[in-house]
């Protein structure tokens, strides 16, 4: 699952996205779940409307490599492994992960909906979601 190094991405790709704060991330997850529940409660199309308005936006997930073994996200990890989507990079103090930094981090370019689903299943201090400022 050795992906390309994250440093190989163009700077312009990284500059379009910014790290969501904890309250922003929680609000985005709540909006996704609300749209999903509305859809399941009979408001057909609620999730599709949210997905079109927000969920299909580009995003980036970053988390310590050890989380690749987290059983809650193994399905996503399997899919990423098939496509070579997992890139690696070093952990810095700016990442603010609850990690020593020696393990490195996984960096995956995804849609916002995928980033939110994975972030919901990982420990809060071990995941970062980057999205457009207007997402």
Domain ranges of the chain: 6-131
pTM: 0.83
pLDDT 10s digits, 2-28: 444 444 444 445 558 999 999 999 999
For residue 126, the model assigns a pLDDT of 94
CB 112 within 8 A of CB 57: yes
Q: Return d(Cα 98, Cα 69) in angstroms, integer.
A: 16
Cα-based distances in Å from 83 to 13, 39, 50:
20, 30, 26
Closest CA to 63 of 19, 27, 28: 19
**Alpha carbons 73 and 95: distance in angstroms, whole number:** 20
Q: What is the mean pLDDT of residues 49-59?
A: 89
pLDDT band at 1 (very low <50, low <70, confident <90, very high): very low
Q: Alpha carbon of 115 to those of 62, 63, 112: distances in Å?
A: 9, 11, 5
């Amino acid at each position: 699952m050795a992906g390309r190094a994250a440093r190989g991405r163009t700077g312009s790709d990284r500059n379009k996205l910014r790290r969501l704060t904890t309250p922003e991330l929680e609000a985005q997850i709540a909006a996704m779940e609300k749209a999903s529940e509305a859809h399941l409660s009979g408001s057909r199309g609620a999730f599709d409307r949210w997905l079109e308005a927000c969920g299909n936006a580009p995003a980036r997930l970053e988390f310590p490599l050890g989380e690749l073994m987290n059983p809650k996200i193994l399905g996503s990890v399997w899919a990423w492994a098939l496509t070579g989507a997992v890139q690696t990079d070093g952990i810095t103090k700016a990442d603010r992960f609850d990690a020593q930094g020696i393990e490195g981090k996984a960096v995956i370019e995804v849609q916002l909906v995928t980033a939110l689903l994975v972030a919901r299943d990982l420990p809060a201090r071990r995941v970062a979601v980057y999205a457009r400022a207007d997402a």
